[in-house]
Amino acid sequence: MAAEKLETEVRQDQITNAALGLIAAKGVSELSMAKLANRVGLVPSAIYRHFKSKDEVLDATIAHISERLMNNVRSARKETSDAVECLHMLLASHVELVRQNRGILHIVFSDSVYSGRPLRKQRMYQAVAAYLNEVAAIIADGQVHGLICRDSDAHTLAVMFLGLIQPAAFLSHMSNGEFDAAEHAENAWKVFSACLTGAQRS
Amino acid sequence: MAAEKLETEVRQDQITNAALGLIAAKGVSELSMAKLANRVGLVPSAIYRHFKSKDEVLDATIAHISERLMNNVRSARKETSDAVECLHMLLASHVELVRQNRGILHIVFSDSVYSGRPLRKQRMYQAVAAYLNEVAAIIADGQVHGLICRDSDAHTLAVMFLGLIQPAAFLSHMSNGEFDAAEHAENAWKVFSACLTGAQRS
DNA sequence: CAGCGAAGTGAACGCCGATTCACAATGTCA
DNA sequence: TGACATTGTGAATCGGCGTTCACTTCGCTG
């Protein structure tokens, strides 16, 4: 029975990954210490060698996701200096990230994760806000260089950019993947980018 | 102690309203039969006189919301025949509905509501899809009458329309109302409507 | 090789929440 | 008024889940 002994660091990684996997399959509310331990090949109480509580596991899992998301932004920004192109790449990588990690959707579209944990909710909001600020910065950059029209506020456009992804992700989530988020994102991008660049008739 | 005796129909209304209120305040995961009963002025077991289970309560609550949403669509459609104007009104009423019933956000951005209940999830998806079909119909109408350019698929535009609301609602939800959804919707609408009508330069 | 700390085990605890059931109160209709 | 159905009550049940703890096992280090 006895499971192999591994360092806490390794176990923490295994555990957060297992958590994300379980969440992807069944939703956040179906995540229990028992199932989690079972998936890692441990006994429930063993989890407490590596995390103080279930909340800590969730926090770590979320932090893990946030990092990956921000990496996306950074790499897109380094790839090109054309703001419009950059946004297009960011859109694609964002959709892809979500497609490969369905657990992200379950977490974002969850409330059991936040209710009764104002601090976590706040942290998540700040993460999203930080992401939007990055997007707004890219847009503002495009406006300065004349690639994007200046009629609209960069921040409004940033939220609209999120609006290209979120409903698609939501529909994909609700339809269990039947709705093709990538396809919609691509179609919507055509409209939106025309909007960004084309409205220079003022 | 004994609570007044009321007809099941009345109680069912009271109960679903109380549920929506509790959800608005604390989130779906904080909804319990005990709190629910307490809010209505009953004892937990009394709820079972009017609903077979907690799931039934949630189902009824959701159905209640769906109805209101569809009413919004209908009344907006009857108000005007100008497609663009109609969408604008629909946007406003949608934002207002969500603003006044924060519980809706908690339900939509929940997973405890769906996980393990594929039927309910499917029903919710169909409700959203039906809403989008209505929006798409309005847009298609506008395209026929030349008010909206025909470059893009009506359904894509409908999902984008949802994209004007959803991220704003999400941010408002995450920031506990700090983010002003109505304001963003209004700003985003300017961009989007210009997009709809203005792209007729092809 | 002795010992010490880190990692794993399994049983048990405590809590909370959904649901049930026998019983009481109420309202209606003949 | 008397019977029957409906609604409300309170106690009890039942299960699940997070967490704790005393103990064991493993692996490194002096």
Q: One-letter amino acid identity for A70?
A: M
Q: Token pair for residue B178?
A: 């700090």
Work out the average pLDDT over B97-108. 93
Nearest residue to nucleotide C6, by CA–C1' distance, is A7
- Taking only the tens place, the pLDDT of each residue in A67-86 is 998 999 999 999 999 999 99
Q: Tell me, in Å, how far CA of A2 is from C1' of C3? A: 22
The whole-number pLDDT of residue B197 equals 87
Cα–Cα distance, B98 to B20 (Å, whole number): 12
For CA atoms A138, A142, A143, A149, the dihedral sign is: negative
- Taking only the tens place, the pLDDT of each residue in B56-88 is 999 999 999 999 989 999 999 999 999 999 999
pLDDT higher than threshold 80 for residue B200: no
What's A147's DSSP letter? S
Give the alpha-carbon dihedral of B47, B51, B54, B55, to 10 degrees: -170
For CA atoms A147, A151, A155, A156, the dihedral sign is: negative
C-alpha distance from residue A61 to each of A22, A64, A171, B66 (Å): 12, 5, 24, 33
- Taking only the tens place, the pLDDT of each residue in B12-39 is 999 999 999 999 998 999 999 999 999 9
**In chain A, what residues touch B121 (CB-CB under 8 Å)?**
174, 176
Whether the CB of A174 is below 8 Å from some CB of chain B: the reply is: yes
**Closest chain A residue to B200, measured at CA:** A198
pLDDT band at A3; cut points 50, 70, 90? confident
**In chain B, what residues touch A190 (CB-CB under 8 Å)?**
152
- Taking only the tens place, the pLDDT of each residue in B119-146 is 999 999 999 999 999 999 999 999 999 9
**In chain B, what residues touch A187 (CB-CB under 8 Å)?**
152-153, 156
Work out the average pLDDT over B43-58. 97
Q: Is the CB of B5 under 7 A from strand C?
A: yes
The whole-number pLDDT of residue B1 equals 57
Q: Is the CB of A4 under 7 A from strand C?
A: yes
- Taking only the tens place, the pLDDT of each residue in A96-107 is 999 999 999 999
- In strand C, the nucleotides that come within 7 Å of a protein beta carbon are 6-12, 16-22, 25-27
pLDDT band at B2; cut points 50, 70, 90? confident
- Taking only the tens place, the pLDDT of each residue in A97-150 is 999 999 999 999 898 899 889 999 999 999 999 999 999 999 999 999 999 999
Contact B28 A115 (CB under 8 A): yes
The whole-number pLDDT of residue A116 equals 85
pLDDT band at A201; cut points 50, 70, 90? very low
Q: Quote the pTM value.
A: 0.92
What DSSP element (H or E) covers A96?
A: helix A83-100
Q: Tell me, in Å, how far CA of A37 is from C1' of C9? A: 12
DSSP-H helix ranges across B27-117: 33-40, 44-47, 54-79, 83-100, 102-108
**CB interface of A with B, residues 24-43, below 8 Å:** 26-30
What's A2's DSSP letter? P
Work out the average pLDDT over B88-99. 95
Nearest residue to nucleotide C27, by CA–C1' distance, is B5
The whole-number pLDDT of residue A1 equals 61
pLDDT band at B201; cut points 50, 70, 90? very low
Give the closest-approach CA distance of B15 to chain A in angstroms: 21
pLDDT higher than threshold 90 for residue A9: yes
pLDDT higher than threshold 80 for residue B152: yes
B124 closest CB neighbour out of A111, A174, A190: A174
Give the closest-approach CA distance of B10 to chain A in angstroms: 29
A111 closest CB neighbour out of B29, B152, B153: B29
Contact between B194 and A195 (Cβ < 8 Å): yes
- Taking only the tens place, the pLDDT of each residue in A38-61 is 999 999 999 999 999 999 999 999
The whole-number pLDDT of residue A111 equals 87
**In chain A, what residues touch B109 (CB-CB under 8 Å)?**
108-111
A160 closest CB neighbour out of B151, B159, B188: B188
The whole-number pLDDT of residue B161 equals 97
Contact A171 B30 (CB under 8 A): no
Q: How many helices (H) and strands (E) does chain A have?
A: 9, 0
What's B29's DSSP letter? G
